[in-house]
Amino acid sequence: MKKSKRVLVVVGHGSKLKGFQHAMEQVARDIRKKAVFEKVLCAYLEITPPSIEEAVKQAVEFGAAEVRILPYFLLKGRHTQQHIPAIAAAVKMRYKKVRIVLCPYLGYHPKIALAALERTGEVR
């Protein structure tokens, strides 16, 4: 039986600042290494290509049966509560044969608190 292809689209804000996306791309590479998804793509809400719509299109062209959209945002705001959900709803309507799942934004997680503490140099 052929396994269904699953693609993860990690979504960042976007910026004009050169190199801003390196950390998120590293996270995507680390997720790729886990081999949970057949493909892991980065996309951006604004300014920087590819857009979420373009990344989902790439996933569909790759043959994805499921696309998960992961907002790479720490704080709740209009992007996580309105903008990204609206885009996810639109791509669901466009690609009805593909299961498109909007994952929760990063928000709070104990490992994020640990990473923040590590950045202070006080991890014990």
Count of C-beta atoms within a 10 Å radius of residue 60 = 18
Termini Cα distance of the chain: 48
Strand blocks (E) in the chain: 6-12, 39-44, 66-71, 99-102
**The one catalytic residue among 13, 22, 79, 109:** 13
Instruction: Reduce the DSSP state of residue 37 to 3 states and report it.
Output: coil
Using the 8-state DSSP alphabet, how is residue 50 labeled?
S
13 has catalytic annotation: yes
Instruction: Reduce the DSSP state of residue 49 to 3 states and report it.
Output: coil
* Residue positions annotated with a catalytic role: 13
